[in-house]
Each structure stands twice: as structure tokens, then as C-alpha cells.
Amino acid sequence: MEVQLKDGIYFVSGDITETCDLGGFGLPSGSVHFDLGSVRTINSCGVREWITWINKLKITPIYSNCPQSVVMQFNMVKEFLSNNSKVESFQIPAYCENCGEQKIYLLRSGKEFQFGKKLEYELKKCEKDGCCIESDVDFESYFYFIESLKS
């Protein structure tokens, strides 16, 4: 796992595992903005370690660009979103068999989704005829964390 600071945002990349050590990146306490777009995988020890560090450093995290690996953990480990955590945006991976195109939709808080509200969402089709773009994720379970989180 790597963490890089750029324009006030901490960009996290790679695999979050038990060796995840947020103590080494000079993170301030209070509100910290993490861009998780490049997180590849997370293992069960990694989630716990991440949560421990967030608590230890008294961070109120803002997560943006959350990929599928992260959203799956939001849904499974509710402590991931404790400490007044905010999710600014998350990704929906999608693929269109007809166009052969892979697409990532970014859903933003306050725009495409509201916390505490059940999300009904439909993927926007591309310009081409017979576009059959389909999400890689099951919306009912994928959006579960949105309903259960307060705004």
C-alpha cells in the first residue's frame, strides 16, 4: 500500500493488508480526504488495521473515488464508516458487450446519491445503437451502505 499527498488529498494505492501502517505518512488528525481510486484489493486484516489507525490518529475520513474492493468492505464491515466518515464518491464498474467497452460510473454524494436514502440508479447508455451496458455489481447489495449511513 502507498499513500501520496497531492493538493491536500491523500491518494491510497495498492493492496490494503495487515502491514497497512497509516502512522508513517504524516497524516493530521481531524478531517482527512482520502482518494481510494487506486486501491486494488483489501484483506480482512487490512480492513481491521485501517480502522484501528483511523481511530488511533483521531481522523474523520472523507473517502472519494471508492472502487469495488472498498465498497464491498463498506457493506461488510460497518466500523469502516464509523467516526463520522463521509463517502464523497464511489465507483460502479460496468461493461457493454455490444460495444466491448468498459466504463466506470462515478456516483457523488448529494448528486447521484443521498445518505440514508435507498438509491435507485440506472446506468446511462452510450451513444451507439443497441448499447446494452450492464453493471458488474448487484445494486441491491452494493448500495446497502448508503441506506444504513446517516447524511
Partner 1 sequence: MSNTDSINIDSVIDVQNEHYRTELVALFKSCAMNTIVAQGEQTIEEIKVLAKNGCKQSLYITDTIDEKKLKTHETIPSIRMENLLLVDDDTKDQIIDSEGLMMFEHVLSCNQDHVPHMQLMSTIRKIRETKYFGVDKCVSYGAYVHRYVLSHSDQRQWFRDALFEFVIGLSSVLGRPTDAYAQFAVEVQEELLMNAIWDANPKLQEVDRRVPIALLPQETVQVEWSFDGTHLAIGVRDSFGSFSKPTIYKYLRFLFASEKKSMIRLQQEAAGAGLGLFMVLERLSSLIVTVAPLKSTEVIAVLNLSTSPKTFSKKQRSFQFFSV
* Residue 120 amino acid letter: E
Q: Report the residue from 124, 134, 147, 151 that binds partner 1 according to the rule CB under 8 A.
A: 134
Shortest Å, Cβ 96 to partner 1: 10
Q: Report the residue from 76, 94, 131, 137 that binds Zn ion according to the rule CB under 5 A.
A: 131
Considering only residues 82 through 111, tell me which ones interact with Zn ion, judged by CB under 5 A: 96, 99
89, three cell numbers: 464518491
Residue 68: contacted member of partner 1, Zn ion, none (CB under 5 to 8 Å, by partner type): partner 1
* Residue 21 amino acid letter: D
Q: Which stretch binds partner 1 (CB under 8 A): 28-36, 57-65, 112-120, 136-144?
A: 136-144
Could you give the residue ranges of the DSSP H alpha helices within the chain? Answer: 44-56, 68-76, 139-142, 144-148
Q: What element of type H or E holds 37?
A: strand 30-42
Tally the C-alpha atoms within 13 A of residue 117's C-alpha that lie toward its C-beta.
11
87, three cell numbers: 463517502
How many positions of this chain bind partner 1 (CB under 8 A)?
Answer: 34
Q: Which stretch binds Zn ion (CB under 5 A): 52-60, 111-119, 120-128, 138-146?
A: 120-128
Do 118 and 147 form a contact (C-beta atoms < 8 A)?
Answer: yes
CA angle 84, 49, 21 (to 5 degrees): 105
76 binds Zn ion (CB under 5 A): no
Residues that bind partner 1 (CB under 8 A): 15, 17-19, 40-45, 47-49, 68-69, 72, 75-79, 93, 95, 97, 102, 134-138, 140-141, 144, 148
Residues that bind Zn ion (CB under 5 A): 96, 99, 126, 131, 133
